[in-house]
């Protein structure tokens, strides 16, 4: 008998991963002291099931408060799940041999800003247990990789936000990790900084590493991700390869032309979902293919100049917004758990402000 085919073990796997926070009985809200005797449980993450395989760039996407950071903190062992299980490289969370092979950059890292760039990486290299000779070989290469060779002898307090993000990425790569976790790595960066982070993530994939990152910058995720998961209010809405999630169906046709008469615009306006004048040019958005072809013929026949004709498919951003809007807020989705209680006089005073 032939050997039975075995599926590769996911490098990251979660099963029914859930995190429920319990708010304090006494707290403040909008500057007022508030007493909460019920509705204290809030589920930041609910029954999350993910499989991430070796060599993938995996994007965990969602709006602020969706549960992305909570999921990453659980995987990093910074907080514990309320229920459910997770494994990294086939081993349970907390395994020391696995921790030695992962890199991590949190969303808002704090670095001791009197250290210079080289000193900072040298210090973290010591924490990893990397020998002095190996650190001397590795650190210059990492600084060059993240574009900070010129700032190696500069204190971190003189770094811009983008530079701090890049030195943080270098720190996450010191131990040649098999998987790198990045929490909102492009948050707050300008377009140049975001491109540098994208290029760095792609270079990690070329070297065989797996990258697991969270983001709400969907255009960047669409450019580099092999697979994505979309979270909303702690719940997984969808997960899969981008080509499977995004429809191949053409959503509309964009036609840009110049030397267009006002009469032609008036004649075709009713068939277009959008008509946008840009100085000399006019952009038409039209949904039906036959109407788009008729419009192109009219442009040419009226001595107009066709600049572009582009079929438009649904983008990740459009898909994301549509899916989030399809899941309106509810008590169940917000994870608010109400304990069944018998009616009493005290219940009328619950959640009252002082």
- Domains assigned to the chain: 12-101+177-245 (3.40.50.300), 251-313 (3.30.70.980)
Can you give the pTM of this predicted structure?
A: 0.76
Measured over the CA atoms of residue 88, residue 91, residue 94 and residue 99, the dihedral's sign is: negative
Q: DSSP for 312-338, please give it.
A: EEPPHHHHHHHHHHTS---HHHHT-BP
Measured over the CA atoms of residue 86, residue 90, residue 91 and residue 97, the dihedral's sign is: negative
Where b means 16+ CB within 10 Å and e means fewer, 108-117 reads eeebeeebeb
Closest CA to 308 of 234, 258, 255: 255
d(CA 144, CA 136) in angstroms, rounded, equals 13
Residues 6+ apart with CB under 8 A from 93: 74, 75, 77, 86, 87
Q: Report strand pairing: 57-61 vs 227-232.
A: parallel
Tens-digit pLDDT string for the chain (354 aa): 445 545 678 999 999 999 998 877 777 777 777 777 666 788 899 999 999 999 999 999 988 888 999 999 999 999 999 999 999 999 999 899 999 999 999 988 888 889 999 999 999 999 999 999 999 999 999 999 888 999 999 999 999 888 888 899 999 999 999 999 999 988 778 888 888 889 889 999 998 999 999 988 888 888 899 999 999 889 999 898 887 887 666 788 999 999 998 889 888 888 898 899 888 899 999 988 888 999 999 999 988 899 999 888 878 888 888 887 776 655 444 443 343 444 433 333 444 433
Element of type H or E holding 309: strand 305-313
d(CA 195, CA 69) in angstroms, rounded, equals 22
Asked if 74 and 148 count as a contact pair (C-beta separation under 8 A), the reply is no
Report phi then psi at 51, rounded to 5.
-130, 120
In the three-class reduction of DSSP (H, G, I as helix; E, B as strand; rest coil), residue 92 is classed as strand
d(CA 62, CA 126) in angstroms, rounded, equals 36
Residue 7: how many other CB atoms lie within 10 Å: 7
Element of type H or E holding 14: strand 12-22
């Amino acid at each position: 008998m032939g050997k039975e085919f075995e599926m590769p073990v996911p490098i990251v796997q979660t099963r029914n991963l859930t995190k429920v926070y319990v708010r304090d009985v006494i707290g403040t809200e909008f500057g007022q002291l508030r007493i909460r005797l019920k509705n204290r449980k809030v589920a930041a993450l609910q029954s999350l099931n993910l499989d991430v395989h070796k060599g993938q760039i995996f994007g965990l996407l969602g709006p602020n408060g969706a549960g992305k950071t909570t999921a990453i903190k659980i995987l990093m062992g910074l907080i514990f799940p309320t229920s459910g299980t997770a494994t990294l490289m086939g081993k349970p969370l907390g395994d020391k041999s696995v921790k030695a092979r992962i890199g991590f950059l949190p969303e808002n890292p704090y670095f001791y800003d009197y250290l210079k760039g080289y000193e900072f990486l040298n210090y973290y290299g010591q924490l990893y247990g990397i020998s002095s000779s190996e650190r001397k070989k590795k650190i210059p290469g990492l600084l060059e990789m993240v574009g900070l060779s010129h700032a190696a002898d500069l204190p971190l307090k003189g770094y811009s936000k983008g530079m701090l993000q890049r030195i943080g990425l270098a720190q996450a790569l010191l131990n040649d990790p098999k998987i790198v976790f990045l929490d909102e790595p492009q948050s707050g960066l300008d377009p140049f900084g975001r491109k540098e982070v994208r290029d760095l993530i792609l270079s990690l994939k070329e070297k065989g590493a797996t990258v697991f990152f969270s983001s709400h910058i969907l255009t960047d995720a669409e450019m580099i991700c092999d697979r994505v998961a979309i979270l909303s209010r702690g719940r997984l809405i969808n997960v899969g390869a981008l080509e499977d999630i995004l429809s191949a169906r053409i959503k509309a046709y964009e036609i840009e032309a110049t030397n267009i008469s006002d009469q032609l615009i008036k004649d075709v306006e009713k068939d277009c979902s959008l008509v946008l004048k840009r100085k000399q040019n006019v952009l038409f958005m039209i949904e039906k293919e036959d109407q788009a072809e008729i419009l192109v013929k009219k442009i040419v026949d009226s001595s107009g100049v066709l600049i572009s004709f582009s079929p438009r498919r649904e983008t990740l951003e459009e898909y994301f917004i549509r899916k989030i809007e399809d899941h309106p807020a509810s008590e169940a989705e917000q994870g608010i758990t109400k304990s069944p209680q018998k009616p009493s006089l005290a219940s009328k005073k619950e959640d009252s402000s002082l």
